[in-house]
Amino acid sequence: KQEVTQIPAALSVPEGENLVLNCSFTDSAIYNLQWFRQDPGKGLTSLLLIQSSQREQTSGRLNASLDKSSGRSTLYIAASQPGDSATYLCAVKATDSWGKLQFGAGTQVVVTP
Amino acid sequence: GAVVSQHPSWVICKSGTSVKIECRSLDFQATTMFWYRQFPKQSLMLMATSNEGSKATYEQGVEKDKFLINHASLTLSTLTVTSAHPEDSSFYICSASLALSSYNEQFFGPGTRLTVL
């Protein structure tokens, strides 16, 4: 059974620092991996989606890497801002899951001014 | 594009009553919709997968008679929590998948906060 782990569970950094969020998964037979942002009491906002054949994806200050063989993905957020404060979730879509997503527990990020 | 809405955004009900939550894909047709629940400080747990015109597929441990799912059209799926109890209080989120392939990206709704008194 696929298990998705996110470390750390919480992170606090001063504004301007780069953020590094980690996601690991136990079964490398994935179709893709997706990073989401969730603000308190809100739904999910998709940040980046990496297909299994890709090594990384970039969008603005965000960069996500994927190492399928080692079961790891890292989300980098450059020059963090207070508006980046949120919970970040990663989710994997396994090749035999009929499209279902398996989520990690998330990393709660606080960026202090 | 690819906007998913949910209604209501929050609901408070008395124990024993039933509550219906709607999930709509506003600008695309969603063959497949997914229902998740999220407890405080926890991640999303898939409850069921619903395909238009057919019965929903429930995850292990989810009571299908308690959580009724209907996907009557390509733009609407509903989740009805029957005889709700305080332990059903949670954040319910739906997602919708484009086109026919279940491997396409899922787009998430804003969630519905259910509080059962």
Residues of chain A with Cβ-Cβ distance to B49 below 8 Å are: 98-100
Other C-beta atoms closer than 10 Å to the C-beta of A87 total 21
Tokens of B65: 């008679």
Selecting from B49, B95, B113 the residue whose C-beta is nearest the C-beta of A41 gives B113
pLDDT digits over B8-49, tens only?
999 999 999 999 999 999 988 888 899 999 988 888 999 999
Selecting from A43, A93, A98 the residue whose C-beta is nearest the C-beta of B108 gives A43
Tokens of B92: 């319910």
Other C-beta atoms closer than 10 Å to the C-beta of A55 total 10
pLDDT by 10-residue block (mean), chain A, 113 residues? 92 96 94 93 91 94 96 97 97 78 94 96
Is residue B71 less than 8 Å (CB to CB) from chain A?
no
